[in-house]
Structure 1
Amino acid sequence: MIPADGLPGHEASRAAWRRPKRSSPEMLYLLPAVLVWLVTGTTISSLNKWIFAVYNFRYPLLLSALHMLTAIVVDYGLLRLQLVGAVTAARGQLTAAAKLKVFLLSLTFCASIALGNVGLSYVQLSFAQMIYTTTPIFTLAISTLILGKQHHALKYTAMMPICLGASFSVMGELQFDQTGCLFVFAATMLRGVKSIQQILLQEEKIPSVFLLYLM
């Protein structure tokens, strides 16, 4: 069968594969955004712990509030500069159910950051990071309980080394603090809940920066 362009099917698909992909203006924003996300994501916990350890800062909830305020200011600037598309349409299309989902996600998001900062004021950063690695375990368990989703046995098998590593870290921590451990575990569990809530929000198709601004 010859397509309309006069080439056989396999030759047409091969020619299409050889055509260079058109560069999108979004790539100009995507690459810097990913780089900034990698840099800030790997340094935020270290900076938090540095503030607690070096300056003896004892107000983790205030620090969390400053985080939220900074997110609002940065997101508002991005929205005002119209660096995020389809925000105006999304603003007017939020249903009551969507607003409730965003509100619940906001509570989970803020609580996870606040509890994580409280935990960092008690425990070492390395100890907290080891516990944070168990987030996928909480995500799998919560998705099974709330969404009724059945996961492949290999997923649970892959979690076993993470569980063992976290257990050895807890048992071998020289500066173990029970209160800080509880706060960090609570923050980790809320991270898993947040992932499930974000999955439930995908059908609303809210732009990510606008969603963070609402949160």
Structure 2
Amino acid sequence: MSPKDSREGLFYPELGRTRLNAEVPTGEGHWPAGFGHVDRQIRVGSGDAAFKALAEGIMTWQIQRRAGLRVAAPPRAVVGARVVSGFGVGDLRLPVPCEVVWALEPAGMLRSDGTDVELAGFGYGTLPGHPALGEEAFLAMKASDGGVYFRLLAFSRPSGLLFKLGSPVTKLTQRNVTRAYLQAARSLAP
């Protein structure tokens, strides 16, 4: 069974790629050919309290909610959890279904560059009905100096002809949602 067929409904290459890229410094990841990608990291605070608040906010969907999305999901991001976010205005919202493909509760890790960090977060993949095909991940990281960072990793391409024709709108929407995620992360870390 190929990686893209390993989970029902998840039909994109390199399932879990964002998890692998989480282990390398920002900008050093490898991405599937033919997919656009995002690898953004911002400092949001320092210390254990900031890290715990950010990690908990990520694992309980607060990043999405504070970014203005409506979220229907289990209380916590765990592998196999299905989530439907909706973005739009009022009741006019486009449903975007995803499934969590990896989740990491706070854990120490030695990254590929030899630095010790503490990481927490998850990645989810798109399901049929989503306007994009790909994966997105949300990470809290505490560096050895105590700095706390939010990192957003994603790769995607339009999921069909209709969304490909609307790709300029989709790209603008993705940029706006990315900006909203970054603001949400800042609001979570005290």
Is TM more than 0.5 here?
A: no
Short-chain TM bin: under 0.3
Higher helix share: 1
Larger Rg belongs to:
1
TM-score by length of 1: 0.26
TM-score, with length taken from structure 2: 0.28
Structure number with the higher strand fraction is 2
Whose relative contact order is higher, 1 or 2, with alpha carbons under 8 Å and at least 6 apart? Answer: 1
